[in-house]
A and B are shown apart, each in its own frame.
Chain A
């Protein structure tokens, strides 16, 4: 396998323009001859499907939910970054680029990140034109706020529902194209395998989740926009349905997986309350603009928060990182929370929580202002915990939120399988080892609205694509493989539920491959995961049949993949003998407990190649060249 990043030559700021000029175009009249399959209907998928259809391609779009509007992008709360510099506070494309590269702890490609910062401004224009009701000033101009990890106000937002509003914008654009007959929409449909012919991705196999029908779709290119794999941890802020199946099965067909161990733990989530817990709820990072994070100074201090006097509180983020304070980036804030809880200073049941306190902000700004800013978040908190955050501080704890790793893609967002493109959280490309707040929405929409519509044309115009028949042996083979796997899951007929395996895997991953990792722990996980997997295939029980709506079967399919994928994550985490961003190896830290990178040995993307059943995956390295920024220790002090 050869990793060709295909980064255009020339100065950083000119690369994308130059590349767009150099790419081959597909004649407008010829576009309708090409068929493109888009898997996923979140920000990246819906914006790609709509934009490709507008250009004239034949597009089919697939999602496992009952409607494309329900993709998990909808749950993003805080906002979307753009280098508009509407606030005149010193922002620029260069600064957004620099913040993102630095925030990612120098483990992303300069060229990709710069392009992302350039495109960010177009995204806001596009969304406003679609009628997205962004927050406004009284003047009618767009409002901005600052967000974790940035010292400028460049985040655009629609209350606490920015993801929802951006997704509905993309969904509506998609619906417009569906109504015009340019997009065929397949809801409640899951991709289960790719079809590779002559080394190119020429289609895929899907299962209709209502009827169980398994069919092959032949096409000229496939676009995966299927999100991240945070649910490998069982408990995460992801939607319950979010899964790794599409990207993992693409991996098994030859697409390299980039940096699978780079996962983001979000600092402000509602703590776990019991065994039955099915998911964790994020409280938007924007809360840290006005909320102050603290724990008692003394360990084991069980007094209620209002009885702990000011002098006996430790505002540890403000103390440790005076210049960023409560707005420190996610990885830093999460680790700091874990640290104080490990010291026995955590609050709430089980001591796994820290306070996020709005007392000062309410005194300074009044309850009404706080209500305007965060009303829906406060309500959400109260609903879940039965506590009133206007009176007592919130209790928060870190939780798995986002995965920076994903399928490896070149500058054109194409994987190592020609014809297979990967967008949004599903690819590895822009966030390095840690993603900054309000950057996921930006990347999803940049990929879908503005990058893939251009780069896929270059692929289609230059690739020689012969007609593929439905009875091609590869097509039949893929169909058969899916049918067999389904049958196998249904015939184990053991005694343990799918969820019980998922929980067991998740607990193990959280302990060994979560916020802090050690070689010993990772080796233990690498030994344990195959054991859990073996038991799964001997003892899982999946009731019902394949030819019906069978949610247990859907889950079983996804968990089977997580049980293999977890191993790849641990392997990647074990091999990366450094700490960077969300990947914190306890063996590699500075004297004051900060992540210690090793740029000499690890300034590369780890791209893993599937080597066959039971064989160790092969590691390929894409060196990262930093020509425009200087590698520095990330300091938020």
Chain B
């Protein structure tokens, strides 16, 4: 198999980036997309050129490290798939493929296809947890969780934090990411005491990170490798409204702990 690549190269965050064309012959349709980039990189190194930098680690769709815009689509043409799980059999022989990093103001490019997604960590740090300090917790079966709730919580908790939702969104909103964590914890009985505080803080952090607003376009759920539904965003908005009206905590990052 033979592909023609146009890859975004950018030496440093402030450097000017540009597309560079690479010819990629002698590939196998059974290769994963990242294995194809490995092969291209090996050939570049052998020629004494700098390899294309891209984030990757587990290569089985769970760590969330990888993420590329492939012909303008986050994680490429296959639904419910992270870039590392995509195989060349999804492409035509001879096809031209444009590879770009995630594009969002809140995800500055570090190098080539590598971006800085630390804003997502800061959203979690703002409140995406249940404050259960180690030790001193009740027996695991002391609090029952209806199976449907546990299943729905798991659906939302499946998020791998790759940032595809942000990259796919025309507003570069992190709503699907944020709402997935809020839904996961809000569906569990253990998550109730901090529910209002959590949604207020996480949403406020999301705004501070310069992610855009959600306008219900739905591109995020199409791009999500774990097929997380935008229903969680509706849930977040309900929680947010309720917390804003009745919650005890004041709005907008007032805690000073972020």
Contacts and interface: CB of A to CB of B under 8 A. Distances in A.
B157 A126 contact: no
A171 B78 CA distance: 29
Contacts of B51: 543, 551-552
Contacts of B28: 274, 276
B257 A180 contact: yes
Given A54-B133, A125-B139, A74 B58 contact: yes
Nearest to A159: B154
B58 A72 contact: yes
A62 to B, nearest CB: 14
Nearest to B117: A66
Contacts of B145: 133, 136, 140
B140 to A, nearest CB: 4
A541 B48 contact: yes
Interface string A122-142: 101111111101111111111
Given A69-B161, A543-B45, A549-B114, A130 B59 contact: no
B46 A278 contact: no
B141 A86 contact: yes
A149 B2 CA distance: 46
A65 interface: yes
Contact of B154 (A126, A158, A278): A158
Contacts of A180: 257
A75 interface: yes
A278 B32 contact: yes
B121 A175 contact: yes
Interface string B172-190: 0000000000001101101
A507 interface: no
B141 A178 contact: no
A135 B150 contact: yes
A367 interface: no
Contacts of A384: 85, 87
A278 B133 CA distance: 39
A353 B158 CA distance: 31
B132 A67 contact: no
B188 A175 contact: no
A179 B257 contact: yes
B229 interface: no
A137 B134 CA distance: 26
Given A65-B63, A140-B144, A278 B35 contact: yes
Contact of B49 (A127, A159, A543, A549): A543
Contacts of B157: 133, 158, 165, 168
B110 A70 contact: no
Contacts of B138: 125, 129
Nearest to A134: B150
Nearest to A55: B134
A499 interface: yes
Interface in B39-63: 39, 42, 45-46, 48-51, 53, 55-63
A380 B61 contact: yes
Given A75-B62, A187-B118, A210-B110, 17 more contacts: A54-B134, A65-B57, A66-B118, A67-B64, A126-B132, A133-B188, A142-B141, A164-B62, A165-B154, A179-B258, A185-B121, A277-B35, A278-B38, A279-B59, A281-B60, A386-B87, A552-B45
13 contacts: A67-B64, A67-B120, A69-B124, A70-B65, A70-B161, A158-B154, A161-B154, A175-B125, A273-B30, A276-B39, A281-B60, A543-B45, A543-B50
